[in-house]
């Protein structure tokens, strides 16, 4: 459809996977290493990559776990270095894309991965030495293909953010064709992830009018199409809109996110089997209610704009509409439904207070506030 160049290069549209070879050349990658997962390989996407390249990549790591962790990053880094690669093709969901970014850091800088975590002061330690990546999402949710961060579970169990402008992929190839086989449950969960990005980054207090505009339009597209994409998986228009909504959410969230993500990151670190997008869907209503007491410019004006993008009459309807949509598309709407128990609340709160997204919520949240949000989500 055409080239978008905001934050990074984005080749968007059906069939754009064919642009891979030229994007590798522009990025200066001659020996690409592929980071993916076994599901993507089984779907034949890796074979498509090899056909486009006209040769096999320098190496492949396809053991990306559902929630990427430090052990997997180390294993992939060893393969990357043994292959003599000079860049990465990251293809898959957010997990594969985030793992690839972590490999790009570790292969260039060495040491322990926690050294580069934002909450450990690691932002300044990530330099231009970071290896370049080309990101190709096969889900429509995380937006990691244009994001400046990667979320990784460290060896000590913390789920942390690695954040740097040097982590933004040199190019993203967003081809909705790759999402057509995504199961309904994953379509729903990743779609709610994209919607949460658009809402949270729009509410984040920093001033970035272009990002605000992108977030609202991403929300409009995502909200209008998530049900259709989930229930009518072959609907190419719905899939296309969800794919660009996910990318737009991440284009905007350079502003920062908020308590939805600080809670999801913390709980996801405690129980890596829980899907991040599902957690975001569960936490959104409680956090939206909490943030209504933020400064007037946030709670009134911004909530009205969010409601308009969702086709609602007022900001008062946002939380209940999200909960209803979550149920409609087949996702759980409470923590108790996914086996989370109250005895985990203290650990969740400790992690949320330390998370980088906690600092960019429009209203400061205390330990007691997080307890209230957890109870409302239970």
CA atoms of 64 and 98, how far apart (whole Å): 10
Block residue for tokens 């990002």? 211
Cβ–Cβ under 8 Å, residues 12 and 146: no
Q: Per residue in 6-42, pLDDT tens?
A: 789 999 999 999 999 999 999 999 999 999 999 898 8
Burial class (CB in 10 A: 0-12, 13-18, 19+), 15: exposed
Supply the mean pLDDT for the chain.
93
Cβ–Cβ under 8 Å, residues 323 and 315: no
Specify the pLDDT at position 253.
85
CA atoms of 131 and 100, how far apart (whole Å): 10
- Which residues contact residue 78 at a Cβ distance below 8 angstroms, ignoring those fewer than 6 apart? none
Q: Which residues make beta-bridge pairs with 59?
A: 33
- Of the candidates 111, 93, 98, the residue with the CA atom closest to the CA atom of residue 194: 93
The model's pTM? 0.91
Q: Which two tokens stand for residue 231?
A: 């229930």
- Which residues contact residue 291 at a Cβ distance below 8 angstroms, ignoring those fewer than 6 apart? 203, 258, 259, 298, 299, 361, 362, 363
* Predicted confidence pLDDT, tens digits, the chain (378 residues): 556 567 899 999 999 999 999 999 999 999 999 999 998 988 888 889 999 998 889 999 999 998 899 999 999 999 999 999 999 999 999 999 999 999 999 999 999 999 999 989 999 999 999 999 999 999 999 999 999 889 999 999 888 889 999 999 999 999 999 999 999 999 999 999 999 999 999 999 988 889 999 999 999 999 999 999 999 999 999 999 999 999 999 999 888 999 999 999 999 989 989 999 999 999 999 999 999 887 755 667 899 999 999 999 999 999 999 999 999 999 999 999 999 999 999 999 999 999 999 999 999 999 999 999 999 999
- Give me the phi and psi of 267, to 5 degrees please: -65, -35
């Amino acid at each position: 459809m055409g080239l978008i160049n905001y934050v990074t290069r984005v080749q968007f549209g059906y069939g754009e996977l064919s642009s891979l070879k030229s994007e590798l050349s522009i990025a200066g990658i001659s020996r690409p290493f592929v980071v993916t997962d076994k599901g993507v390989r089984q779907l034949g996407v890796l074979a498509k990559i090899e056909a486009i390249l006209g040769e096999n990549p320098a190496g492949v790591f396809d053991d990306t776990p559902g929630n990427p962790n430090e052990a997997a990053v180390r294993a992939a880094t060893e393969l990357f270095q043994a292959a003599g690669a000079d860049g990465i093709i990251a293809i898959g969901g957010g997990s594969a894309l985030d793992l690839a970014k972590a490999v790009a850091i570790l292969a260039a800088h060495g040491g322990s991965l926690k050294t580069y975590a934002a909450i450990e002061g690691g932002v300044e330690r990530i330099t231009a030495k970071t290896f370049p990546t080309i990101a190709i999402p096969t889900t429509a949710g995380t937006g990691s293909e244009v994001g400046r961060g990667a979320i990784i579970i460290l060896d000590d169990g913390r789920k942390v953010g690695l954040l740097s402008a040097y982590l933004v992929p040199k190019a993203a190839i967003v081809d909705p064709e790759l999402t057509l086989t995504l199961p309904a449950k994953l379509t729903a969960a990743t779609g709610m992830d994209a919607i949460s990005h658009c809402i949270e980054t729009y509410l984040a207090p920093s001033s970035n009018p272009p990002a605000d505009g992108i977030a609202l339009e991403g929300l409009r597209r995502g909200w209008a199409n998530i049900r259709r994409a989930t229930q009518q998986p072959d609907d190419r228009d719905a899939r296309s809109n969800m794919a660009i909504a996910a990318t737009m959410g991440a284009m905007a969230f350079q502003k920062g996110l908020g308590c939805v993500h600080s809670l999801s990151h913390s709980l996801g670190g405690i129980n890596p089997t829980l899907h991040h997008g599902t957690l975001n869907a569960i936490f959104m209503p409680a956090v939206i209610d909490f943030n209504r007491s933020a400064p007037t410019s946030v709670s009134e004006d911004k909530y009205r704009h969010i409601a308009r993008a969702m086709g609602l009459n007022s900001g008062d309807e946002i939380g209940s509409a999200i909960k209803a949509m979550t149920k409609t598309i087949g996702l759980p709407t409470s923590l108790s439904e996914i086996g989370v128990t109250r005895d985990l609340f203290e650990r969740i709160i400790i992690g949320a207070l330390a998370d980088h997204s906690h600092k960019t919520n429009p209203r400061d949240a205390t330990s007691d506030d997080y307890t209230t949000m957890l109870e409302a989500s239970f």
